[in-house]
Amino acid sequence: MNTTKTIQSALISVFSKDGLEPIVKKLHSQNVILYSTGGTEDFIKNLGIPVVPVEDVTSYPSILGGRVKTLHPKVFGGILNRQDNESDVQQMEEFDIPQIDLVIVDLYPFEKTVASGASEADIIEKIDIGGISLIRAAAKNFKDTVIIASVDEYGMLLNLITEQNGATTLADRKLLATKAFHVSSHYDTSIFNYFNTDETIFKASVANGQILRYGENPHQKGYFFGDFDAMFKKLHGKELSYNNLLDVDAAVSLINEFKVDGPTFAILKHNNACGLATRESISEAYVAALACDPTSAFGGVLIANTKIDVATATEINKLFCEVVIAPEYDAEAIIILQEKKNRIILVQNEVELPQKQVRSCLNGLLIQERNTITDNKADLKTVTTTSPTEQQILDLIFASKICKNTKSNTIVFAKSGTLISSGTGQTSRVDALMQAIEKAKTFGFDLNGAVMASDAFFPFPDCVEIAKDAGITAVIQPGGSIKDELSINYCNENKLAMVFTGTRHFKH
């Protein structure tokens, strides 16, 4: 059976006319009968091309303020009839229904209207009825009908009808139907999410996906679904990998904690900070951050909360790193950083991150609200007889911000706006503490006068005992253990300051 079909008639009804003109002209040159409505009909007429108003087919005008134009059996019969079905063919003749081989339609801009802050009445009017029905009908009948549901497919259609002289294959029509069902399902998801107040129902539709080189390991396929270009302007370097993207995500979340602080530079490896410092200048912050753990910094992701200047770029260029991120760069700094051809250089745009975090779990999904709480001075409750000094308070909050963005169980040491060391992802808080002490010793840091942050409470006083022996003088933790008094009493006996925040910051 010959499944190639030549387009002889088309219904065109679109909200946006961008890119439509060459298609209309090509169809006209191929003697295709054009049917249309409203503004699209006027657009075609203004090109000097004959067009049949849909009202002439249905014998009904556009009614209800334009809400009903194409919803009629003579329109949908022309789209949905099965050309190899004898009964359908007979009914087409009996009711004088014109054949429609091609449907070009788009949808009212519902998402853009919601994003604009329009009134509910305006938003409701942007729920398309006729358009979505035409898309579904033509896509369902792809064996006989061509559907173009988005301006994104105009180029493909123009190429098809030009190169194949108005003909399409079954494979062409099925591909376009697939694209059309994507348009309709994405549209319906947006409408549902606008109305939905039931937190136990989750629907998402992400249109802009990309294939990555591979996943976490070379034998795994990897994909990213999101608008990367909205978040970043890529200036240089190779394509980002799955692991790069995870590290970039962690870097962005971490640096957001320091958005309003002085010049701050962070270095991350495997989603955790291995260096972070706040200084008078960004170059000083970078040098101090690198000194935290220069071994782990090799191949890491670097991020700044302010412009990267020439001095900073010169220092960075001495290190092999995968990604550099900043809100802006000096022009000469970019030239310096581009000397390494594979180094990825990103400009971070001001984009609000999603308020829900989603991850796969077992045979489903886990969804939670983003942890938007950042501990600050007003949150601190001093629970010991020794109160922290003003400098210790600054360091405690600094350490807490890092702790919040580090894999649990975690312990963070900080002093004078510098990450000294951390213990990350350990099965025991004592193990995390011992790891942090060992790392500090490895890189020659003196812990005397440093502060300690913990992502969760201490069920026993052992951690504060070990920390005090290492030189720690102040501790920040959420509190909440039924044995809090054991740690508080030890701190009182040994003149350590301890503050509670009341907020746990686990990160699994």
Q: Active-site residue numbers? A: 140, 270
What is 42-59 written as a DSSP string?
Answer: HHHHHTT---EEHHHHHS
CA distance 154 to 158: 6
Are the C-beta atoms of 103 and 140 separated by less than 8 Å? no
Using alpha carbons, select from 330, 334, 232, 293 the residue that is nearest to residue 439.
293
CA distance 489 to 495: 10
Strand 300-304, strand 321-326: pairing: parallel
Q: What are phi and psi of 237, to 5 degrees?
A: 110, 175
Are the C-beta atoms of 388 and 382 separated by less than 8 Å? yes
Q: Which ranges of 6-67 does DSSP label H, i.e. alpha helix? A: 21-29, 38-46, 54-58
CA distance 22 to 29: 11
What is 195-260 written as a DSSP string?
Answer: H---TT--------EEE-S-SSSTTS--EEES-HHHHEEEEESSPPPHHHHHHHHHHHHHHHTTTT
